[in-house]
Structure 1
Amino acid sequence: MKGEEWYQTDEVAQEYDAKRFSRGGRLIDRREKRAVLEALNPLEDRKVLEIACGTGRFTVMLAERGADIVGLDISSAMMTQGREKARAAGVADHIEFLRGDAARLPFPDDHFDTVFAMRFFHLADTPAKFLAEMCRVSKGQVFFDTFNDRSTRVLYNWLLPMGSRLYGREEVERLIDGAGLTLADASHDFVLPYGFYRKIPNRLAGAFRSVDTAVGDTPLGTHLASVSYWNAHV
């Protein structure tokens, strides 16, 4: 995985949310959470596995809505932040945080109703293997996002120290088919890359987002979207 050592440090874990989801990044956080809720609802009494749960911002949100959820991550430091969030929200008894490898999930076949991963596949060195494992342990739904190769993310990617893996729609569809999944639906968003929003004040983000959304609702915007959400079924 790209950036694996960097990602596991205590310093990065402690600053992760503040660096990515403050300023205009608040808008990104809201949009990603809405995408997850729209795809995974209803959640009451569902068994959910989150791959690369990080600091638990999705994990805790889903537990608050009735899911029994396992959050798996390679970083103990990140999950420490997640456990603190879960205790503060009063949902620690609905979440198990587990350190593990997404390429070798420690669960039997068909163990979860839903398996999902956000901000994971752009770091994946073997995406087919990861997606196959997600499919194996899910008896229903697999949901994930990708960063796209026909977007402004390509320009932004040059500035990143470790880069990101970018995907085209045909590649994702091949991955889904190869894992034995059926694509139920997909949505595409953010003509402007995430990094742009994180650099501007929150008070300006809404105005840029309005333009972004207007362009994104056109065929050209769909083509240029930097992020895609993929909802597949076993």
Structure 2
Amino acid sequence: MKGQEWYQADDVAEEYDDKRFSKGGQLIDRREKQAVLEAIMPVEDRTILEIACGTGRFTVMLAEQGADVVGLDISAAMLHQGRAKAQRAELAGTLEFLRGDAGRLPFPDDHFDTVIAMRFFHLADDPEAFLREMRRVASEQVVFDTFNRFSSRSIYNWALPMGSRLYSKGEVSTLLAKTNLTLVDVEDDFLLPYGLYRAIPNGLASSLRSIDSALGGHPITDHAASVSYWNTRLR
């Protein structure tokens, strides 16, 4: 995993949500959660694994919706933040946090209905092996996101501390074929980069988001979207 040492630092975990999902970043948080819920619905009573769960944004949300969720992450500091978040929430389902490696998942084949990985695919050293491992422990569905090569994110991607990877639609489609996953749906979003939203107040970000949404959603502009949300099923 790229940026592993940076990611596991205590100060990074403590500031992770505030730096990324405050101010205009709240719009990103809501959109990502919407994408996950739309892909998985109905959530209640499903068994779900989230890989690289971080501070538990998605794991807690899914448990609140009645799912039985396991959140796995390599960072003890991130898991500490997730457990604290879970303690403050009223959960309808169950939630367990485990420390582990996304490349060697400690679960048997077909163990979960759904496996998700958000904000991680761009850090995987071997994306095909990572996707195969997700598929191995899923019995029905694999959901993930990618940051796109032909987008505004490429402008500042070189400056990120973990050296993340951008993907074209064709590359991801090839990976799906190699791992025997069938594409159900892919949604493209955010013509403007995430970093811009996080840097400005929520009010201004909301205005930009309205313009962004109006311009997006078309075949031409979709190619310039920063992120894609992939919903796939096992063949």
TM range (shorter): over 0.9
Work out whether residues 53 and 71 of structure 2, in 8 Å CA contact, stay in contact via their aligned partners in 1: yes
Tell me the TM-score normalised to structure 2 length: 0.97
Q: Which amino acid aligns with 1:211?
A: I
Question: Who is 1:181 aligned against?
Answer: 181
Paired residue secondary structure (1:224): coil
Which deviations, in whole Å up to 9, do the C-alpha atoms of 1:166-213 show, x marking residues without a partner? 000111011111111111110100000100101111110011011111
1:1-234 paired onto structure 2 within 5 Å: 1-91=1-91, 94-234=94-234
Number of corresponding residues: 234
5+ unaligned residues in a row in structure 2: which ranges? none
Work out whether residues 83 and 92 of structure 1, in 8 Å CA contact, stay in contact via their aligned partners in 2: no
Percent identity (aligned): 68
Q: Which amino acid aligns with 2:123?
A: L
Which deviations, in whole Å up to 9, do the C-alpha atoms of 1:29-51 show, x marking residues without a partner? 00001001100111111100000
Distance 1:71 1:162 in 2: 22
Distance 1:50 1:190 in 2: 23
Distance 1:137 1:93 in 2: 20
Work out whether residues 86 and 92 of structure 1, in 8 Å CA contact, stay in contact via their aligned partners in 2: no
Work out whether residues 113 and 140 of structure 1, in 8 Å CA contact, stay in contact via their aligned partners in 2: yes
Q: Which amino acid aligns with 1:34?
A: Q
RMSD: 1.1
1:149 to partner: Cα distance: 0.4
Paired residue secondary structure (1:72): strand
Moved over 4 A (4+): none
Tell me the TM-score normalised to structure 1 length: 0.97
1:214 to partner: Cα distance: 1.2
Paired residue secondary structure (1:95): strand
1:125 to partner: Cα distance: 1.0
